[in-house]
Structure 1
Amino acid sequence: MSDSVFFVTCPKGVEYLLADELRTFGMEPVRNAPAGVWAEGPLESGYRACLWSRLANRVILHIDEVSATSGDELYDGVVHLDWQQHVPANGSFRVMFLGQNEAIRNTQYGAQRVKDGIVDRMRSSSGQRPSVDAKTPDVTISARLNRGRLSLGLDLSGHSLHMRGYRTEKGVAPLKENLAAALLLRAGWPELVKAGGDFIDPMCGSGTLAIEAALMALDIAPGRNTDRFGFETWPGHLPELWLQLRQEAERRAHEGKQGELPRIAGYDQDSRVIATAWKNIQRAGLDGLVHVECRSVEDLALDGEWAEQGLVLTNPPYGERLSERKELGALYRSLGEAVKAAVPGWRLGVFTGAPEFGKSVGLRSYKQYNLFNAKLPAQLLLFSVDDASAMTPREPGIPGEVQPRIANEERAAMLRNRLKKNLKTIGQWARKQGIECYRLYDADMPEFALAIDIYDGRVHVQEYAAPKSVDERSARERLAEALAVIPDALGVEREDIVCKHRQRQSGTSQYEKQAASGEFFNVHEHGCALKVNLKDYLDTGLFLDHRPVRHWIQQHASGKRFLNLFCYTGAATVHAAVGGASRSLSLDMSKTYVKWAEDNLALNRIDARHHKVEQADCLAWLAAKPTPDQRFDLIFMDPPTFSNSARMAGVLDIQKDHGKLVRQAMQRLTSEGLLIFSNNFRRFKLDEALEQEFAIEEVSRDTIDKDFQRNARIHRCWHIRHKV
Structure 2
Amino acid sequence: MYRIRPTSKKKKKQPLRFTATCGFGLEPLVSEEIASFGGEQIDAHPGAVTWSGHLESGYRACLWSRFASRILLELARFDAPNPDALYAHAGNILWDEHFTAQQTFAVHTTLVNASLTHSQFASLRIKDAIVDQFRKRFGKRPDVNAFAPDIRLNLHVQGTGASLSLDLSGESLHRRGYRTGSGEAPLKETLAAAIVRLSGWLDRRQAEPILLDPMCGGGTLLIEAALMLSDSAPGLLRKTFGFMAWNKHDPLLWERLVQEALDREGRSLPETWPQFIGYDADPKVVAAARKNVIAAGLRDVIVIKQRQLARLQSPGPRGCLLTNPPYGERLSEKEAVKYLYRCLGRVFRSQFSGWTLGFFTANPDLAEMTGMQWQERHRLFNGPIKCQLLVGQESQMGEKAVHRWAPVALAAGSPGEDLANRLIKNCTTLLPWAEAEGITCFRLYDGDIPEYNLAIDCYEEWLHVQEYAPPATIDPAKAEERFQQALQVIRAVFDVPRSRLFIKTRQKQKGAQQYQKKPGTGTLYEVREGGGRFLVNFTDYLDTGLFLDHRLTRTRLGQLTHGKTFLNLFAYTGSATVYAAMGGATATTTVDVSETYLSRAQANLALNGFGGPLHQCVEADCMDWLKRNHDRFGVIFVDPPTFSNARHRKQTFDIQNDHPALLRLAMQHLTKAGVLIFSTNFRKFKLDPTLEQEFDVREISDQTVPLDFQRNRRIHRCWEMRHPFSPSEPQEAC
Structure 1 counterpart of 2:91, one-letter code: V
Q: Which position in structure 2 is the counterpart of 1:420?
A: none
Matched-pair contact (CA < 8 Å) for 2:114–2:158: no
Residue in structure 2 matched with residue 331 of structure 1 by the alignment? 340
Q: Which residue of 2 aligns with 1:269?
A: 281
Percent of residue pairs identical: 41
Q: CA deviation at 1:124?
A: 4.4
Aligned to 2:320: 311
1:390 maps to: 396
Once the two structures are superposed, the pairs formed by residues 93-132 of structure 1 within 5 Å of their partners are: 93-99=105-111, 104-125=116-137, 129-132=141-144
Aligned-partner SS, 1:62: strand
Q: How does 1:611-630 map to 2 (within 5 A)?
A: none
- Greater length-normalized contact order (CA 8 Å, ≥ 6 residues apart): 2
C-alpha displacement of 1:148: 1.4
CA–CA distance in 2 between the matches of 1:356 and 1:75? 49
Partner residue, 1:48: 60
Asked whether the equivalents of residues 140 and 154 of structure 1 are also in contact (C-alpha less than 8 Å), the reply is yes
Partners of 1:123 and 1:320 in 2: CA distance:
50
2:147 corresponds to 1:138: no
Query: Residue in 2 aligned with 1:57?
Result: 69
Alpha-carbon distance in 2 for matches of 1:161, 1:382? 27
SS at match of 1:57: strand
Q: How many residues align?
A: 388
User: CA–CA distance in 1 between the matches of 2:110 and 2:366?
Assistant: 37
Quick one: which amino acid aligns to residue 352 of structure 1?
T
Name the CA distance, whole Å, in 2 between partners of 1:82 and 1:368: 48
Task: Verify the 8 A CA contact 2:60 2:257 in the aligned structure 1.
Answer: yes
The one-letter code sitting in structure 1 at the alignment partner of 2:334 is R
Partners in 2 of 1:194 and 1:45 — Cα distance? Answer: 32
Quick one: distance in 2 between partners of 1:382 and 1:258?
A: 26
The answer to whether the 8 Å contact 1:18/1:37 transfers is: yes
Q: Does 1:373 align with 2:382?
A: yes
Partner of 2:331: 322
Change (3 A) 1:390 1:95: same
Distance 1:29 1:159, change over 3 A: farther
- AA aligned opposite 1:25: F
Question: How far did 1:128 drift?
Answer: 5.3
Change (3 A) 1:63 1:334: same
State whether residues 19 and 29 of structure 1, in contact with CA within 8 Å, keep that contact through their aligned partners in structure 2: no
Q: Superposed, which structure 2 residues align to 1:583-662 within 5 Å?
A: none
**Equivalent pair of 2:114/2:159 in contact (CA under 8 Å):** no
Contact between 1:361 and 1:393, CA under 8 Å: does it hold in 2?
no
C-alpha deviations, 1:345-398, integer Å up to 9, x for none?
3221111111112222222111111111221111111112x4xx533589xxxx
Structure 1 segment 406-425 matched on structure 2, within 5 A: none
Q: Secondary structure at the match of 2:34?
A: helix
Structure 1 residue runs of 5 or longer lacking an equivalent are: 395-724
d(CA) in 2 for partners of 1:37 and 1:90?
33
Aligned: 1:150 with 2:183: no
Aligned to 2:171: 159
1:173 partnered with 2:182: no
Matched, 1:183 2:195: yes
SS in 1 for 2:378: strand
Q: 1:393 to 1:21 in 2, by over 3 A?
A: farther
1:443-522 to 2 correspondence within 5 Å? Answer: none
Taking a change above 3 Å as real, the CA distance of residues 309 and 55 of structure 1, as seen in their structure-2 partners, is: same
In the alignment, which of 348, 359, 362 is matched to residue 350 of structure 1?
359
Shift of 1:179: 0.8
Cα deviation 1:119-144 (Å, max 9, x = unaligned): 33344455553333323332111111
- Equivalent residues of 2:324, 2:361 under 8 A apart: yes
Which amino acid in 2 is paired with 1:54?
R
- Which residue is equivalent to 1:494? none
The one-letter code matched in structure 1 to 2:242 is G
- Who is 1:208 aligned against? 220
Which residue type is aligned with residue 302 of structure 1?
S
- What amino acid maps onto 1:215 in structure 2? L
Matching residue's letter, 2:142: P
Q: Aligned partners of 1:33 and 1:103: how far apart in 2?
A: 20
1-side partners of 2:386 and 2:62: how far apart? 27
* Counterpart residue identity of residue 348, structure 2: V
> Which residue of structure 1 lines up, in the alignment, with residue 88 of structure 2?
76
Residue 39 of structure 1 corresponds to which residue in structure 2? Answer: 51
Given candidates 205, 222, 240, the residue that maps to 1:193 is: 205
Cα distance in 2 for residues equivalent to 1:29 and 1:211: 33
Q: Contact conserved, 1:100 with 1:107, CA < 8 A, in 2?
A: no
Contact 2:208 2:320 in 1 (8 A): no
Q: By how many angstroms is 1:195 displaced?
A: 5.5
CA distances 1:501-533 after superposition (whole Å, capped 9, x unpaired): xxxxxxxxxxxxxxxxxxxxxxxxxxxxxxxxx
The equivalent position to 1:235 in structure 2, one of 247, 260, 263, is 247
- RMSD of Structure 2 on Structure 1 (CA): 2.2
- Specify the code of the residue in structure 1 equivalent to 2:367: G
Q: Which structure is larger by alpha-carbon Rg, 1 or 2?
A: 2
Residue 32 of structure 1 aligns to a residue in which SS? strand
CA distance in 1, matches of 2:112, 2:26: 24
Write the letter of the residue equivalent to 1:364.
Answer: Q
- In the other structure, the counterpart of 2:674 is none
- Conserved 8 A contact 1:57-1:160: yes
Partner of 1:222: 234
CA distance 1:102–1:19, change in 2 (3 Å): closer
Change (3 A) 1:216 1:77: same
CA distance 1:53–1:29, shift in 2 (3 Å): farther
Give the match's secondary structure for 1:119. helix
Structure 1 residue 264: Cα displacement: 0.5
What is the Cα deviation at residue 293 of structure 1? 0.6
- SS of residue paired to 2:260: helix
Deviation at 1:180, TM superposition (A): 0.8
Counterpart contact for 1:69–1:101, Cα < 8 Å:
no
Measured in 1, the distance between the counterparts of 2:256 and 2:95 equals 28
- Distance in 2 (CA, whole Å) between partners of 1:182 and 1:100 is 26
Give the drift of 1:90. Answer: 3.9
Q: Does 1:296 align with 2:302?
A: no
Aligned pair in 2 of structure 1 residues 142, 333: CA closer, same or farther (>3 Å)?
same
From 17, 20, 25, the counterpart of 1:8: 20
Equivalence for 2:292: 280
* d(CA) in 2 for partners of 1:193, 1:82: 52
Q: Distance in 2 between matches of 1:29 and 1:261?
A: 38
Question: Cα distance, 1:271 vs. partner?
Answer: 1.8
Deviation of the 1:331 alpha carbon: 2.0
Match of 1:544 in 2: none
CA–CA distance in 2 between the matches of 1:22 and 1:347? Answer: 30
**Cα distance in 2 for residues equivalent to 1:50 and 1:159:** 11
2:304 maps to a residue whose letter is V
- Offset from partner CA, 1:91-115 (integer Å, 9 cap, x none): 3322112227776432221111111
Task: Tell me the SS of whatever aligns to 2:305.
Answer: strand
The CA deviation string for residues 611-658 of structure 1, in whole angstroms up to 9 with x for no partner, is: xxxxxxxxxxxxxxxxxxxxxxxxxxxxxxxxxxxxxxxxxxxxxxxx
Distance 1:12 1:262, change over 3 A: same
Distance in 2 of aligned mates of 1:10 and 1:105: 24
User: Is the Cα–Cα contact under 8 Å of residues 167 and 280 in structure 1 kept in the other structure?
Assistant: yes
- 8 Å contact kept, 1:88–1:234: no
- Matches of 1:258 and 1:366, distance apart in 2: 29
One-letter identity of the residue aligned with 2:396: A
Alpha carbons 1:362, 1:393 under 8 Å: kept: no
